[in-house]
Structure 1
């Protein structure tokens, strides 16, 4: 359905959305934060020497944190628990070798806890020493809480938290994995070690602290790689808990991040007001809570950055809904991101693993089903999807292997369907389906969250931005390609599957997907003034795909109206229930469109 051009929205896309802290909460910076933490520890000591534990997420700049503590609390002794009790890196490497595998990209999900990285006897010895020390003491490092709890003494607890995107940026600049001597290692291998091992153990550990933490420190701002310079802020545990609880009761956005790529385009630079000096932007992770952040903002405009996963971990039922939480646990199952090839190149030809394969091979409990929603498209845009009728499987695999070795290019059009793609088309891509977005497309990718499990089959002969050939996984891909998804099946099941649900005046509701094999339901709404929605007990993820600006409002006034601009992805927690999306007072558009994703079978009243 044609609508007004969003050209007037240039520059209005909010790249730093915030979540409010309680009205009386303030971000403490510098020595003020450490003084407040020391005051709590001293009050709690009740005549003993005060004890402060600063538990730092792996990836935090521990030397800078220790320097800040020493400068702010010169009379306190600072003990690095990592130096004192961590296992030698060679022992750790042996313990996690099976999880890391020899593959450059894929490992096996670890179920280790933080204690797997420490010498238990040395932890116990350190606790005895800390308990017997008559000086004010600060225990610092990942696992500091382990030692403090072992003392049996009262203490104050600070969580120095980190978002995964900031960790990745630091690793690209030469930072190592936790205590690993790998500054020059391939960044994909660094990421693999974090994704499959370190971050899993670290998340399990910090989930034990959320109810007890006295302060949360923004470790993203200490030694930041590319974040906007800001003082390292700290908020009380009560303010942190109130902010995330409040976020689970109203619409919000996570902080998007953008990254260039070999196939990257120019659309986001113009439409989303990004740095024009960059050669391209390939990705925008606009709703990937495993990696995105939340900015907690006080009444004075000061912010503290926390991982958006903290909200998922602490408020899973309110955020996800009881049925979705029962199905996925404290994990956000829906991902929205942008793939920009406008003026760029084709994505890699790829396939995602089938559910049984990802469970048996990588330890993930669900797979990366997805879809491409065309936010914009050039006249020549295509989506590669499904094998052509009558394809010779052995011949195709032989040609793919020849292309991988550089013997000859792979003739994708010989084997794979290329469907013309236009703005607002929606292509469905259940796992096991060969696919790729062609050049001159702006894709809103709506998918399940396991987002690194892409088996590249052909990458058009390119190398990565680092000059290294991007990894191709033909062996994995061959085991997961569903060859029966040929032209006829793809046309009948994955292309042009829109279905009219309701039309009331000029308001239209359509079902655009996904395929019955996928767990995500997507509805599109066209409207001029307002549309009434209801979460029906499960989290909703939406994007304003047409129109300049709308408000999300509560029919009962349960939350303040929330402004959303063109192309912004926003989350409506399950706890919200009924909500309105309506034109804002400043809007100049005639027509609006949203796409909304939710988890099938989890809405109230659904069987």
Structure 2
């Protein structure tokens, strides 16, 4: 089996920019593209396989009809979604539900996610958590629009990593380029959107009651036990191993040999270029390349100078 290289799906956003073109060389339809859904089987943006025996197949259909490619998993839907986000402007302050609330109220999974900061302009920051001690206090501060009192702001720089479990109030700030690994869900509850308007003069919908319902109170700051192992001049960083996904960074300087640690592996090159070698076959990869390594690929090698963010399904 070959790696499954995937065609990007672009999403226009009010806060989007043009870095998906200037940094990754993608041919964009306009300069307001906020997201590249790099690996997705979500109905709002389904990836298409670009090579091999499944060329032209949509990922959701491949998952449905050829579960053996993924190790015959039990999930009905492909559980992960990988995105690259270009925040030319601030994203809305938002929160996502957990699986129980999402399935009950939206008919889809909840949304736990994590971020690897590909790049960030000086002074960039994110919203990450809140200061309310009770749900009643949270509701009151939202009602009174006490955003500076309610929200926690965290400075960010290139190479930072953040875990954003469901229930976490958060927002990516302007000037940040991020690789996001998340559950396959598109449910977002907006708490605050800076009162901005779209091209037609309309403000975007807020979801105040849902946000109050699903926010974790008091806020929890997850502890990350990040581990790094060296392999010659290259390295493997383990950022997360959770029930939702496991996330790794492969920092390649020359060569890096890898073996599978999950039923299948998702990978996106976020910087540099080189080759992915599988069963003696070499595939050129560069910043922006995304693929899935199917279940029957036991090992592979990366050659070149590149940084890759990879993920496998949760424990």
* TM above 0.5: yes
Query: Which structure has the larger Rg over C-alpha atoms?
Result: 1
Distance 1:259 1:253 in 2: 19
Counterpart-to-counterpart distance in 1, 2:99 and 2:41:
21
Consecutive unaligned residues in structure 2, runs of 5 or more: none
Q: Does the 8 A contact of 2:120 with 2:175 survive in 1?
A: yes
Whole-Å separation in 1 of the counterparts to 2:292 and 2:20: 21
How far apart, CA to CA, are the structure 1 residues paired with 2:296 and 2:51?
A: 22
Aligned residues: 313
1:206-256: CA deviation from partner (whole Å, max 9, x where unpaired): xxxxxxxxxxxxxxxxxxxxxxxxxxxxxxxxxxxxxxxxxxx22122211
Q: Does the Cα contact within 8 Å between 2:93 and 2:190 map onto a contact in 1?
A: yes
CA contact (8 A) 1:269 1:281 kept: no
Q: Is the 8 A contact 2:7 2:50 kept in 1?
A: no
More helix by share: 1
- Equivalences for 1:526-541 in 2 at 5 Å? 526-541=251-266
Q: Deviations over 1:3-26 (max 9, x none)?
A: xxxxxxxxxxxxxxxxxxxxxxxx
- 1:506 to 2:240 alignment: no
Question: Is 1:332 matched up with 2:78?
Answer: yes
Partner of 1:223: none
CA contact under 8 A between 1:253 and 1:569: conserved in structure 2?
A: yes
SS of residue in 2 equivalent to 1:522: strand
| Secondary structure of 1:310's aligned partner | helix
The answer to whether 1:552 aligns with 2:276 is yes
Across the aligned residues of Structure 1 and Structure 2, the Cα RMSD in angstroms comes to 2.6
Question: How far, CA to CA, are the matches of 1:411 and 1:256 in structure 2?
Answer: 39
Structure 2 residue 104 is matched with structure 1 residue 360? yes
The secondary structure found in structure 2 opposite 1:264 is strand
Structure ranking higher in strand proportion: 2
The one of 118, 123, 126 aligned to 1:383: 126
**Stretches of structure 1 lacking an aligned partner (at least 5 in a row):** 1-248, 299-303, 403-409, 584-590, 602-607
CA distance in 2 between partners of 1:422 and 1:280 (Å): 23
Deviation track 1:166-199 (CA, whole Å, cap 9, x = no partner) reads: xxxxxxxxxxxxxxxxxxxxxxxxxxxxxxxxxx
1:40-86 CA-to-partner distances (Å, cap 9, x unmatched) read xxxxxxxxxxxxxxxxxxxxxxxxxxxxxxxxxxxxxxxxxxxxxxx
2:136 is matched with which residue: 394, 403, 419? 394
Q: Cα deviation per residue 1:370-414 (whole Å; 9 max; x = unaligned)? A: 0111111111111211113x6564344234235xxxxxxx34332
Structure 2 distance, partners of 1:278, 1:504, is: 41
> Closer, same or farther in 2 for the Cα pair 1:431/1:297, shift >3 Å?
closer
What residue number does 1:372 align with?
115
Question: Which is bigger in relative contact order (C-alpha 8 A, separation at least 6)?
Answer: 2
Q: CA deviation at 1:520?
A: 0.7
After TM superposition, give the deviation of residue 293 of structure 1 in Å. 3.9
> Partners in 1 of 2:159 and 2:130 — Cα distance?
23
Deviation at 1:420, TM superposition (A): 0.9
Could you say which residue in structure 2 is the equivalent of 1:287?
39
How far the C-alpha of 1:566 sits from its partner, in A, is: 1.0
Paired position in structure 1 for 2:190: 456
